[in-house]
């Protein structure tokens, strides 16, 4: 479905004239314990990523992917 000149992606807020066109959600506020957990996960992460899942403006899940780099010069004998 084309609305205006832009293609609508799942009726998101970028749609011109769509049902979400005038919707401006309030910025989510993080509970102190959630923010502290995010900080701790980032502090302990050397190589990788931290994915934050949000539903209805609330953080519901943190997923951490960590990479372990192996030094081949130490392992090769």
Give me the average pLDDT of each 10-residue run along the chain (77 residues). 41 52 63 94 94 93 92 69
Question: What torsion, rounded to 10 degrees, do the Cα atoms 6, 11, 17, 23 define?
Answer: -120
Tell me the residue ranges of DSSP E strands in the chain: 2-3, 6-7, 48-55, 58-66
- If DSSP codes are grouped into helix, strand and coil, which group holds residue 43? helix
pLDDT at 11: 45
Q: Is there a contact between 64 and 48 (Cβ–Cβ < 8 Å)? A: yes
Domain ranges of the chain: 1-26, 31-77
């Amino acid at each position: 479905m084309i609305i205006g000149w832009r293609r609508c992606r799942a009726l998101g807020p970028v749609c011109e004239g769509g049902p979400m066109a005038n919707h401006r959600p309030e910025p989510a506020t993080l509970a102190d314990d959630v923010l502290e957990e995010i900080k701790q996960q980032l502090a302990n992460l050397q190589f990788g990523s931290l994915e934050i899942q949000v539903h209805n403006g609330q953080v519901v899940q943190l997923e951490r992917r960590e990479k372990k780099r192996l030094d081949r010069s130490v392992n090769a004998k």
